[in-house]
Amino acid sequence: MLDLAIGECARVKDLISTLQDFNRPTTGKVASVDLHRIIEELLLLGKKKLSDKRITVKRHFARDLPTIQAVPDQIKQVLLNVIGNAEEAIPETGGTITITTEVSGESVRVLIQDTGKGIRPKDMALIFEPFFSTKPAVEGTGLGLSVSYGIVKRHGGDITAKSARGKGALFVITLPIDGVPGERVWLPIFK
């Protein structure tokens, strides 16, 4: 009984921390962002969890991907949310996350594909809505993709998803190389 209470306290603490992070204003300072470096940092941080779930990460990085003008901590949050969702969608038996980067005109694209369970068709229209989650209430806040959507849109980009049930999901994040006008990008913003 005591272990259950301690576990629930930890869960509530994590939820409060997530909500505080969501409401904490970022400096919003635009800087030069190396997407490959951010992706590698996130994969290094999640290496043990990925290994424990027998998840292989494949990288198909553009050779000369330019840096983009963006708010580094906000872009890191977007990639953390999408890569984290890909990891969570893959069963304990293992799978693959494929991360591809490419230049597309005046933008860069990051494609994150997983071999997880996929997204139900009825959920596809809702995945970027605030507080929508397919996870049990005790496991998710439903803010990750909504916050990511807001960040990407505020940066002048786009984020889309495709999925086939049982065959995984593909998220495509498109960001302009030159960024948005001005020196700051403010949050929070929802879809």
Each residue's pLDDT tens digit, 68-79: 999 999 999 999
Segment (H or E) for 12: helix 2-23
Q: Up-side HSE of residue 177: CA atoms within 13 Å toward CB? A: 12
Is there a contact between 79 and 53 (Cβ–Cβ < 8 Å)? no
User: What is the model's pLDDT at position 40?
Assistant: 94
User: What is the model's pLDDT at position 168?
Assistant: 93
**Cis peptide before 121, with omega less than 30 degrees from 0?**
no
Under-70 pLDDT residues of the chain: 7, 11-27, 132-143, 180-191
* Token pair 């809702």: residue: 126
Cα–Cα distance between 75 and 79 in angstroms, integer?
6
User: What is the model's pLDDT at position 42?
Assistant: 92
pTM of the predicted structure, to 2 decimals: 0.79
Q: Which fold has domain 30-176?
A: Heat Shock Protein 90 (3.30.565)
Cα–Cα distance between 141 and 147 in angstroms, integer?
11
Closest CA to 79 of 141, 145, 128: 145
Is there a contact between 72 and 38 (Cβ–Cβ < 8 Å)? yes
**Cis peptide before 188, with omega less than 30 degrees from 0?**
yes
Cα–Cα distance between 156 and 175 in angstroms, integer?
7
| Strand, helix or coil for residue 104 | strand
